Structure 1
Amino acid sequence: MKRSKEDAAKTRQKVIDAALKLFGQRGYSGTTLRLIADEAGCSRGPIYWHFANKEELFEEILAYSQAPLEKLIAQCDDSQEPVEAASNFARQWLSLLFDDAYYRQSFEILLNKTEYTESVSPSLERERALTVSLITTFASFVERYRQQSDSKASADSQVVAMSMYSYLMGVTQSWMVNPKLNQLEVNIEFYVTEFVRLLQSPQ
């Protein structure tokens, strides 16, 4: 029985690896379970053992980029110094891009290979909820920084938080298009500093 569980786990991982590769190459609509099975070296039977359908497998793939960010949000609390909390958040978000291949591949599929159709609506609903949570978290950083520094900035904290979110997404997207363009691993502290600069905007 132990061997069977180990074999099942290995097959499941082969399916996930194959799906990451093919969704990344062909997008959601251009990838079939037959193609994934061929890439994984199995029949479609083992895929259906682990996943109800292609949609559920796609949800699993996108979760590789969604779950780490959800975890970062969950770790934030109001006792943290806001500048330090924002710095750590941005640093971990960006570090995952070159430290975690599954996170990177999943994020690239989300940004560049996902068709916004009804068939992938559960994954997109999770992504929309994550976006709201990220902006809410960043707004909390802004509000606590302003309280501590007695800042009189006029811009709404949600607007600033949206700019912070857009900044990290922009850095992420540009790096995925051409990793040599911004040399993220070498210049990560610069990008973290610029993220915090948005938080501290006097506007």
Structure 2
Amino acid sequence: MRRTKEDAQHTREALLDAAELVFAQRGVSRTSLQEIAKAAGLTRGAVYWHFKDKAELFNAMMARTASPMEEAAQTLVDTPLPPLAELKRTAMDALTRIAHDPRTRRVFGIATQKVEYVDDLMGVRERHLEIHQTCQQCVRTAVERAQALGHVSAHLDPQVIAMSYQAMLNGLINHWMLDPDAFDLVTCGEQSLDLFMGGLKQLPVAPATD
């Protein structure tokens, strides 16, 4: 029985490895389950034994290499560290993983550049939306804690800050993924975070009056 479980787990990992490589080469919507099975040296039946469809296989592949942004956001919950310092630290950890860990970079690239939300991939969209909303809520909670401590201007909207924070990081990462030679993701990311967080401490400028 133990050997059977080990064999099943080995087969599952082989399918996920193959999916990761084929998705990166061909894109998710253009890849068939038959192609994944062939790349893994297995049958299509083996794919359906472990995954009901392509979306479930894709989400399992993503879960195996946890989203660096999702992991970063989760560490913000109940941390004893100053909220802004923790926001920067977790963001830098995520940027470093994307820049220097090949599997993380490949899987993140598939998720951001190689998937279309069509037909049997609508389940992928739902998972992406869930991750996005979870991250945004964690960041918003951290910002609210920072406001309570007087580290962020009380006049600023925590939801807008959380959305802007996500937009900045996602923009940097997507730009870098398109052209990694254009700039150093970690160095530019740290400077961008410092600029962003420095602005949170400033009171908004009053509108000009006649």
TM-score (structure 2 length as normaliser) = 0.82
**DSSP-derived class of the 2:130 partner:** helix
Contact 2:54 2:120 in 1 (8 A): no
Residue of structure 2 equivalent to 1:164: 165
Cα RMSD over matched residues? 2.5
Q: Tell me how far apart the structure 2 counterparts of residues 41 and 150 of structure 1 sit (CA, whole Å).
A: 56
Which one has the largest radius of gyration?
2
Cα gap change, 1:194 to 1:22, in 2 (>3 Å): farther
Contact 1:96 1:103 in 2 (8 A): yes
Contact 1:63 1:106 in 2 (8 A): no
Deviation sequence 1:4-57 (CA, Å, 0-9, x none):
433333322221111111112222221001111111122212222221222211
Deviation sequence 1:97-140 (CA, Å, 0-9, x none):
13443332222112111112242222211221221222222222
Q: Which letter does structure 1 place at the counterpart of 2:177?
A: M
Cα gap change, 1:124 to 1:64, in 2 (>3 Å): farther
**DSSP-derived class of the 1:76 partner:** coil
Residue of structure 2 equivalent to 1:128: 129
Q: Which letter does structure 1 place at the counterpart of 2:25?
A: Q
Q: Which letter does structure 2 place at the counterpart of 1:124?
A: R
Residue of structure 2 equivalent to 1:60: 60
Residue of structure 2 equivalent to 1:27: 27
Q: How many residues align?
A: 203
Residue of structure 2 equivalent to 1:88: 89
Contact 1:65 1:104 in 2 (8 A): no
Residue of structure 2 equivalent to 1:74: 74
Residue of structure 2 equivalent to 1:42: 42
Q: By how many angstroms is 1:165 displaced?
A: 0.4
When structure 1 is superposed on structure 2, of 141-150 and 188-197 the one drifting more is: 188-197
Q: Tell me how far apart the structure 2 counterparts of residues 8 and 42 of structure 1 sit (CA, whole Å).
A: 12
Q: Give 5+ residue unaligned stretches, structure 2.
A: 205-210
Cα gap change, 1:96 to 1:199, in 2 (>3 Å): farther
Same amino acid, percent of matched pairs: 33
Name the one with the larger helix percent.
1
TM-score (structure 1 length as normaliser) = 0.84
Residue of structure 2 equivalent to 1:117: 118
Residue of structure 2 equivalent to 1:174: 175
When structure 1 is superposed on structure 2, of 183-192 and 36-45 the one drifting more is: 183-192
Deviation sequence 1:132-167 (CA, Å, 0-9, x none):
222222222322223323654533121121110001
